[in-house]
Amino acid sequence: MPFGHCSTAALGPKKGESIMNGNDVHEMSELYRKTRKAVYEEATRPLSNNPDIHRKNKERLKKSVGKLCDDADLKKYRGTDKNTATAIWHHLWTKNRYAGIKSQIATTEIIDIESIFDDYEIFSGEDWNIETSGHTVIRGGHQVYDFLNRTGHFLNKQTIGNVPKLVKIVSVARLLIDFLNNKDASTPVLDFIKNSYSDEDVWAIHGHLMDIGYRSDLTVLHFMMDLGFPVIKPDIVISKIFLDWGWLHKKIPGLPKDLSFKDLQGKGKYGQRFKYTSEKMYKPAINLAREIILKTKQEDLEKDIGWVTGNPIREFDIFLVKYGQQPEKEFGIERTLYEATTIDEKSISSCGAKIHS
């Protein structure tokens, strides 16, 4: 049965039994190539079919993808100085702001406050002391209240008053400051993130970041991905695509045959057991993405659409997200090829595929 079929009824190995075989990753790689080509050629096609607009949209997508892939480069963060610390800190606090809210809201907030928040050293002061109970501030410094009330330095700025998020930022900033104050001059700032693990030991690094309070699971993955570690962020869109294409059932032994989109959301018959944010779901998805990337030749990707980046795993994440992306002018995306909120109807398959070789 081909990948991307409309029904998941026949999927799902017996408990503890993997059904991956030697040809599976090759087929997955081919499907990824078709998806990538469709995003570039079809998602950028304007409703008017105007060829000049289409060409500009494709150029915009290429430029945007290229920049994201170029930026996700660990070599840029191996320094020992304050500039490197600021660059890493910018990723740490901004990924926190994106968690759980619409991207455009987070982007607006970041633009408004980055001149303040990029200076991690400010969070060492008593003005940022914060004691909380859940989402309630018990006591805090005046900068905490200015941020939450949009007063003082935050007057007329968009701030999202999520108290646990703010606690996380203050706490991690202070850990970073302590690390920088105590490290040897020759010690890379990146050691704060890696904790002496190798670049490829992504799960140990992920666990370390969780241990120091930089939560949640997918926020950590978002940060690691954008810094250049070899991971993707399996959000609800990518997780749904993996489910509809049969990839989750191929990779995760014992996954229920009737697993649904609602189950990925934690709202189905299985409750929270198979929610996309759980470790047993996102780890296999990331490991599978890495297998697919290893199987996919860069020269084939370049041949498909005329260009390729030097960061294949970051590129993989972007194109799958854009496959389910609502129209987004910044990326030149004008059409949604895959409705992530539907249940299987628009999987790419013999049941009405929108992917063309």
pLDDT tens for 140-182 read: 999 999 999 999 999 999 999 999 999 999 999 999 999 999 9
3-state secondary structure of 278: coil
Highest-pLDDT range among 57-71, 93-107, 341-355: 57-71
What is the reported pLDDT for 340? 62
pLDDT given for residue 41 in this prediction: 97
Residue 179's pLDDT is what?
98
Per-residue pLDDT at 250 exceeds 60: yes
**What is the rounded distance in angstroms from the CA atom of residue 97 to the CA atom of residue 340?**
23
> What average pLDDT score do residues 316-322 get?
96
- Give the mean pLDDT of 266-274: 96
Average of per-residue pLDDT values in the chain? 89
Q: Which residues, listed in sequence order, are joined to residue 333 by a DSSP beta bridge?
A: 328
The pLDDT, as a whole number, for residue 18 is: 53
Grade residue 101 by pLDDT with cuts at 50, 70 and 90. Answer: confident
DSSP string of 9-27, one letter each residue: TT--PSTT-----TTHHHH
Q: Is the pLDDT of residue 126 over 60?
A: yes
Enumerate the H helices of the chain as residue ranges: 24-38, 51-71, 82-98, 103-117, 142-149, 163-182, 191-194, 202-211, 217-227, 236-244, 247-251, 261-264, 279-295, 298-305, 312-323
* Tens digit of each residue's pLDDT (9 = 90 or more) over 302-311: 999 999 999 9
How many angstroms separate the first and last alpha carbons of the chain? 19
Q: Are 133 and 118 in contact (CB under 8 A)?
A: no
The tens digit of pLDDT for each residue in 276-298 reads 999 999 999 999 999 999 999 99
Percentage above 90 pLDDT, the chain: 83
Instruction: Determine the Cα–Cα distance for residues 260 and 342; give it in Å rounded to an integer.
Output: 11
Is residue 4's pLDDT more than 70?
A: no
CA distance 279 to 284: 8
pLDDT exceeds 50 at position 338: yes
Q: Is the pLDDT score of 327 beyond 80? A: yes
Where do we find the tokens 């108290």?
A: 163
21 against 67, higher pLDDT: 67
